[in-house]
Structure 1
Amino acid sequence: MHSIRRIFSVGTAAFVLGAGLLAGSSGAAQAAASDCTGGANGFTDIPDSLSGRGVAGAGALVISDPHAVASWAMQSGTVGGRQMGWGVLSTGGAGDWGPRVRASVWMYVTNDNKATTILCGPFEVQSAGTRITTPAYPTSSSASRAFQVCAVLSSPGEIAGATCSPWW
């Protein structure tokens, strides 16, 4: 079982890094949640229950074997008196979320018009009826700062491919 977890973890990290390249990242991608938690790299931890205004897109992910559903969105709102953006992932209460079903959300931030990006996440959930957020990052009136939220849902037999919002 441990080797299956290791393979899945390595596969998820490779998938996220690959998604970063597809998203237009030319800088070095960071693939650890610790790179944006606890105040790292200008991010602010927020409660998973925090809701904001939907911006730049949202979507649903579905796998059939076993049946599982997750939805994701990019949101913005006031955190600690500052306007910030973050990603959110919610797993549907229905379906068969066996022990090997996983859903992940992550966020890219660029401060230099997508020349480089900061990868925040992935953050993973493994059960139905769960909601998780990425840490929040300050918004800016500068056109060089942009955000993108991505999510994936998978089981050993199926992957609902990574889906990303447009840059906002």
Structure 2
Amino acid sequence: MLTRIRRRGLVLALATGLLTTQVVAAGASPAAASPQDCEGGANGFRDIPDTLRGTQAPVAPVGIFGRTATLYYGQVGGVTRGWAHLGGDTLSGDSVWMDWTKDGGNTWLQCGPFEVTSGGQTKTSAAQRTSSDANWRFRACLRWGRHEPPHVRCTAWW
């Protein structure tokens, strides 16, 4: 009797996990996940210094264990652009990226990840121009270390 209950519990747990995986897999996903997709002018991005700050976008920064990802915007090369910034108590292996969407978040291009190579270092994504189009949006994301499963936090879309 106890074995049958355990077996039902296991089947229910597996079915729930499979359903959850399918729901997550069916959701939106990035179109790319490489720094090369946004470095050196690719896709309209502009390389910026890792120390660059601008005006904080009106979305709350996200953080974990003393690290903070913030979405900024400002003038870069005479154009208003947005970018992701990672700061705080960073350690080697932490990374930051910026997701950019042109369809309100259904699909996006992931600009990064850009990895911190030494503790205390700040890091930015490349910068992309802003737009008055409501579907043209950004969010900043961070990954803490190289843990599996990854510890990832992203801001809301702006």
Do they superpose with TM above 0.5? yes
1:132/1:36 Cα in 2 relative to 1: closer, same or farther (>3 Å)? Answer: same
| SS of structure 2 residue aligned to 1:34 | helix
Identify the residue that residue 137 of structure 2 maps to in structure 1.
146
Deviation at 1:71, TM superposition (A): 1.7
Change (3 A) 1:73 1:159: farther
- Per the alignment, residue 119 of structure 2 pairs with 128
Deviation at 1:90, TM superposition (A): 1.5
User: Higher strand share goes to which structure?
Assistant: 1
CA distances 1:35-85 after superposition (whole Å, capped 9, x unpaired): 1000001101111121111112213221xxxxxx32211101111111110
User: Matched residue pairs, number?
Assistant: 134
User: Is the Cα contact below 8 Å between 1:76 and 1:84 reproduced in 2?
Assistant: yes
Shift of 1:116: 2.2
Counterpart of 2:71, as a letter, is: M
Identity %: 39
Which structure 1 segments of 5+ residues have no match?
Answer: 1-20, 63-68
Partners of 1:155 and 1:122 lie apart in 2 by: 12
2:45 is aligned with 1:43 = yes
TM-score between both structures, scaled by the size of structure 2: 0.75
Question: Equivalent residue for 1:165?
Answer: 155
Give the corresponding residue for 1:114. 105
Q: Distance in 2 between matches of 1:140 and 1:33?
A: 22
Q: How much does 1:111 deviate? A: 1.1
Question: Which one-letter code corresponds to 1:25 in the other structure?
Answer: A
Once residues 112 and 160 of structure 1 are traced to their aligned partners in structure 2, the CA distance between those partners, rounded to angstroms, is 26
Equivalents in 1 of 2:83, 2:123: separation in Å? 11
Other-structure match for 2:96: 105
Q: Per-residue displacement from partner, 1:69-106 (whole Å, max 9, x unpaired)?
A: 3221110111111111000012427xxx5xxx521111
Counterpart CA distance in 1 for 2:85 and 2:127 is 10
How far apart, in 2, do the equivalents of 1:127 and 1:60 lie?
18
Partner residue, 1:16: none
Q: List, as ranges, runs of 4+ consecutive aligned residues in structure 1 with deviation greater than 4 Å.
A: none
Would you say the 8 A contact 1:152–1:159 is kept in 2?
A: no
For the residue of structure 1 that corresponds to 2:36, the secondary structure is: helix
